[in-house]
Amino acid sequence: MRLSTKGRYAVMAMVDLAKQSRGAPIALAEIAERQEISLSYLEQLFAKLRIAGLVKSVRGPGGGYLLGHGAAETRIADIILAVDEPIRATRCSPGAPVGCRGSKTRCLTHDLWEELGNQIHLYLSSVSLADVVEQRVLGRSGALHCEQRDAAIAAQ
């Protein structure tokens, strides 16, 4: 399973936009600085996000970007797909009649990895920007982080 920086950075920038915007446009330079992402790279990503309707651009002084839809309606999977990042766990193309092996057959574990990719897509489709901004996606990793933070505070 591979998710490139394109997908991760697009999600990071959109979460930042959702968190900071409060109805006013946010300049990409501000997002780039806060998230430590190249401004030119963000410009490329936001061009794709704008085409997909996930953001709106506002020109002129005080311009920048706004969410195209509410944070609760914007799904993480949509962001990743908008920047051309397929969510796949197999080497094969989805729906291709042939497999990825040299003999054009599917490997023995093809269905396993294809279903994993489907489950990842389903999960990311169930998570909204609002969920991330409001920290409603804390599973065990979030609980562990909170425990470590609380232990550090108690040790002071």
Q: Which helix (H) or strand (E) holds 135?
A: none
| pLDDT number for residue 22 | 84
DSSP strand pairing (55-58 vs 64-67): antiparallel
Mean pLDDT of 103-122: 82
Q: List, as one string, the DSSP characters of 46-74.
A: HHHHHHTTSEEEE-STT-EEEESS-TTT-
With a cut of 90, say whether residue 110 has pLDDT above it. Answer: no
> Looking at the predicted structure, is the pLDDT value of residue 95 above 70?
no
- At residue 153, the pLDDT reads 80
Helix (H), strand (E) at residue 118: helix 110-126
The DSSP symbol for 107 reads P
Q: What pLDDT does 94 receive?
A: 60
Please give the structure tokens belonging to residue 66.
């706004």
Instruction: Look up residue 141 and give its two tokens.
Output: 């990793």
Backbone angles phi, psi at 127, to 5 degrees: -105, 130
pLDDT digits (tens, 9 = 90+) for 47-81: 999 999 999 999 988 889 999 999 999 999 999 99
d(CA 112, CA 49): 31
Domains and CATH numbers, the chain: 5-155 (1.10.10.10)
pTM: 0.79
**Angstrom distances, CA of residue 113 to CA of 7, 8, 109, 116:** 20, 21, 6, 5
| pLDDT exceeds cutoff 90 at 126 | yes
Burial of 92 (0-12, 13-18, 19+ CB in 10 A): middle
What pLDDT shows up at residue 107? 77
